[in-house]
Structure 1
Amino acid sequence: MRVHILIFCFVAVLIKQRVDGLEVCDVLQVIDSVEWNLVKLVKSVNATLSKYRNCKCDEDAVLQNEWKLAFRGTSGTRQSVYYAYKDGLGIPSSIESGCKQVGKPLACSSHYRNDLILDNWNGISEVALALYKNDVRVHHVIFDAAGSTYMNWLDKARVKSSSWSDLPTSVANIFSIAGHQDASLRRTFFLNKSYGACPNDSGWFVAIDNENGGCSWEKNAALPFFKYATGSTALNWNDGNIGRADYFAVLVKYYNTP
């Protein structure tokens, strides 16, 4: 729509420049000429827009340009990331601008919840869970959001693609936002492959919301903290190649995104 308005304004100016001082018949010829060229211009613009709407762009561009930030969980805030996402608990009324974006080296000391999106969950076609280290996206999973809610889109059956090559086809024992929570455990946004009595637990990503969980791999003094498999497949949570993300983001794409 904005493109068409700009074209209309351009044509109006062009006609005025050309008709000043001309007779009526000459004006009509100018209008016919402009109309013919306008038709060609509109067709060209529509073809270009169609090409970009249908292109299979690289996922870096997709996550930056076609998605809206619904939530950002930041490590070390001392506030539950699960309840910040679920209810907005612990999120201050004034949020630093750095918390409202991803991939930029800006200060952020809290979680960010986009209430407009999470409390009005409709018209969403896809959801992306993206992990960031030093403001660089290190891993992601994209989910089919059709018929979902803001609490159940993170489901193994909804996975469309992932930077972890084994995730789409692997069996997982826990795969949800609520994750595994009880009196001593707060494993949320939990993408877990299997349990093996602590020493052999393995998975892809977990947001840990407490300091003293049941296993040594989830004990830490700076909650919440986000652990992830740095390679292309799931890892044992005790492995030395398990990484720590600085923050993670939940991004959404709406149907008919321009």
Structure 2
Amino acid sequence: MIFKGMSGTGVSVYESFVFGTQTSESDAAKSFDSPENFRLNTPFENWNSSNIIEVKLTLYSKFYDELIHLIFNGSTTTKTSWFSIEHLLDSPWDDLMPGVEMNYFSIAGHSKARVFFVNKHYGGCEVDKGWLLIIDTPLSTCEWEHEFPTPVFLFSSSNEAEIFRNGLKEEAYIMTVHVKYG
């Protein structure tokens, strides 16, 4: 595990993941019992020369049960470019594949408020539809985004994209990123 982000702490998952802001490399922070974000800095600093072949993003419940995971080809990627439709190898959603209509699939997401964002389309707050969303800061404009302490990890618990307001209310407590070396 190279990263662990916690929901509801008020600490930006984007800033923690990309820059190491408000993270720790300690064994205590690595524990799921710790509210602190964990980041193992060496893989991030040496990403391009580390021969990373696979990256796995996993979301967990409050009880540490795995809820979903996505697996990406990590070859020839950077610490942020691996999270893309082009590198996606496996996901829990049947309708998420190369060539599908979408407007976001990136770690930076939309205005760094919606991060680790995999979105099908916008059409107004009532019909925004997607697969995965981390609301990182309370800057978001849709009313339903203010129902949760930030950051909050939301995802479609069905096998396809869902309208955020209606269906994308499945909430995870912990996000981890693991890498596999070749």
Q: After TM superposition, is the score higher than 0.5?
A: yes
Matched, 1:112 2:38: yes
Larger radius of gyration: 1
Query: Is the 8 Å Cα contact of residues 123 and 254 (structure 1) preserved in structure 2?
Result: yes
Q: Normalising by structure 2, report the TM-score.
A: 0.90
1:44-83 mapped onto 2 (5 Å cutoff): 69-83=1-15
Higher helix share: 1
Aligned residue for 2:110?
Answer: 180
Query: Is the 8 Å Cα contact of residues 131 and 247 (structure 1) preserved in structure 2?
Result: yes
Match 2:124 to one of 175, 192, 197: 197
- How far residue 240 of structure 1 moved from its aligned partner, in angstroms, is 4.4
The percentage of aligned residue pairs carrying the same residue is 34
Partner SS, residue 180 of structure 1: coil
Unaligned runs of 5+ in 1: 1-68
Q: Normalising by structure 1, report the TM-score.
A: 0.65
Instruction: Tell me how many residue pairs correspond in the alignment.
Output: 178
Query: Is the 8 Å Cα contact of residues 128 and 142 (structure 1) preserved in structure 2?
Result: yes
Query: Is the 8 Å Cα contact of residues 212 and 218 (structure 1) preserved in structure 2?
Result: no
1:1-258 mapped onto 2 (5 Å cutoff): 69-92=1-24, 95=26, 97=28, 99-100=29-30, 106-121=32-47, 122-133=50-61, 134-169=63-98, 170-181=100-111, 186-220=113-147, 222-240=149-167, 242-255=169-182
Deviations 1:211-252 (A, max 9, x none): 241112221452111111111111100014521100111111
Deviations 1:71-91 (A, max 9, x none): 111001111110011111122
> 4+ residue stretches of structure 1 with deviation over 6 A?
none
Partner SS, residue 138 of structure 1: strand
How far apart in 2 are the matches of 1:155 and 1:205? 12
Query: Is the 8 Å Cα contact of residues 113 and 138 (structure 2) preserved in structure 1?
Result: no
Name the CA shift for 1:241/1:204 in 2 (closer, same or farther; >3 Å).
closer
Higher strand share: 2
